[in-house]
């Protein structure tokens, strides 16, 4: 997993409630056995017509947001299916951060394990960010994971909460499995004691 560094990026607004993982990556792309290359299918049915042409009114087809790396979405983002392909497709498309009022539990966990930072902010703040991003000038935000801050060019906008351990893993690009295997003796002891 890449280390997550503080960075600045452009916001793409998609402020809809309950964007489920079926919308993020429709099932027809789940038969692949790779972990990469899903960015081309991100939001496929919203982004493309059945003939493959782009839908003009979808945010990711708007030139203003072509280089966006921060997605701002409505509440309960990533609900539904556990498919990690959702996090893979968002990252592969070039996003590093998703800001939303709330997330589906499994998506939230999947994101962190892949170096995609999900940030929860109050609903009114997220809605305001989405509205600003829709405005004439591109909205650039700076995400500081170390200090847990979201800022714009004028300064600090909001602090966000994230579990300390998860933040530490993201900043250092740590591998969960490697960390757990450090407790191999404890796992073996548990198995012996509990008859597993």
Partner 1 sequence: MSTLYDKIWDRHLVHQEEGKPALIYIDLHLIHEVTSPQAFEGLRLAGRSLRRPDRTFATIDHAIPTINRNLPFKDPIAAQQVATLRDNCREFGVKLYDLDRVEQGIIHVFGPEQGLTHPGMTIVCGDSHTSTHGAFGALAFGIGTSEVEHVFATQCLQQARSKNFRINVEGELPFGVTAKDVILGIINQIGMGGATGHVIEYTGSAIRGLSMEGRMTVCNMSIEGGARAGLIAPDETTFEYLKGRPFAPKGEAWEKAVDDWSGLATDEDAAFDKFAEIDANSLEPFVTWGTSPDMSVKITGAVPELSDARDSGEASSFERMYEYMGLEPATPIEKIGIDRAFIGSCTNARIEDLRAAAKVAKGYKVSSGVNAMVVPGSMQIKQQAEEEGIAEILTDAGFEWRDAGCSMCLAMNEDVLAPGERCASTSNRNFEGRQGRGGRTHLVSPTMAAAAAIAGHFVDVRDWKFKS
Instruction: Among 122, 146, 161, 176, indicate the residue that binds partner 1 (CB under 8 A).
Output: 176
Closest distance to partner 1 from the beta carbon of 140 (Å): 26
CA-closest candidate to residue 111, choices 121, 100, 122: 100
Binding mask 68-107 for partner 1 (x = CB under 8 A): ------xxx--xxxxxx--x--------------xxxxx-
Greatest Cα-to-Cα distance within the chain, rounded to the nearest angstrom: 64
Closest distance to partner 1 from the beta carbon of 42 (Å): 14
Closest distance to partner 1 from the beta carbon of 19 (Å): 10
Instruction: Tell me the window of 129-137, 138-146, 150-158, 183-191 that interacts with partner 1 (CB under 8 A).
Output: 183-191
Determine the Cα–Cα distance for residues 148 and 85; give it in Å rounded to an integer.
Answer: 26
DSSP letters spanning 161-172:
---HHHHHHHHH
Residue 154: other Cβ atoms inside 10 A: 6
* Order of strands across the sheet that contains 149-152: 117-120, 97-100, 70-73, 7-14, 140-144, 149-152, 155-159
Kindly state whether residue 45 participates in binding partner 1, applying the rule CB under 8 A.
yes
Kindly state whether residue 183 participates in binding partner 1, applying the rule CB under 8 A.
yes
Instruction: Tell me the window of 11-19, 56-64, 91-99, 151-159 that interacts with partner 1 (CB under 8 A).
Output: 11-19
Kindly state whether residue 35 participates in binding partner 1, applying the rule CB under 8 A.
yes
């Amino acid at each position: 997993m890449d280390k997550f560094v503080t960075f600045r990026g452009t916001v793409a607004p998609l402020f809809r409630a309950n964007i489920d993982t079926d919308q993020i990556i429709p099932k027809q792309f789940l038969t692949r056995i790779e972990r990469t290359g899903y960015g081309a299918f991100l939001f496929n049915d919203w982004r493309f017509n059945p003939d493959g042409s782009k839908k003009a009114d979808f945010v990711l087809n708007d030139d203003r947001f072509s280089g966006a790396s921060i997605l701002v979405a409505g509440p309960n983002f990533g609900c539904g299916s556990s498919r990690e392909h959702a996090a893979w497709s968002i990252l592969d498309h070039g996003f590093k951060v998703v800001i939303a009022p709330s997330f589906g539990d499994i998506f939230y966990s999947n994101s962190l394990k892949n170096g995609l930072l999900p940030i929860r902010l109050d609903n009114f703040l997220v809605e305001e960010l989405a509205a600003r991003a829709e405005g004439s000038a591109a909205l650039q935000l700076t995400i500081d994971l170390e200090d847990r801050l979201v800022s714009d060019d004028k300064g600090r906008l909001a602090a966000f909460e994230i579990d300390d351990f998860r933040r530490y893993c993201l900043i250092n690009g740590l591998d969960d499995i490697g960390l757990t295997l450090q407790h191999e003796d404890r796992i073996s002891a548990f198995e012996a004691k509990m008859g597993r």
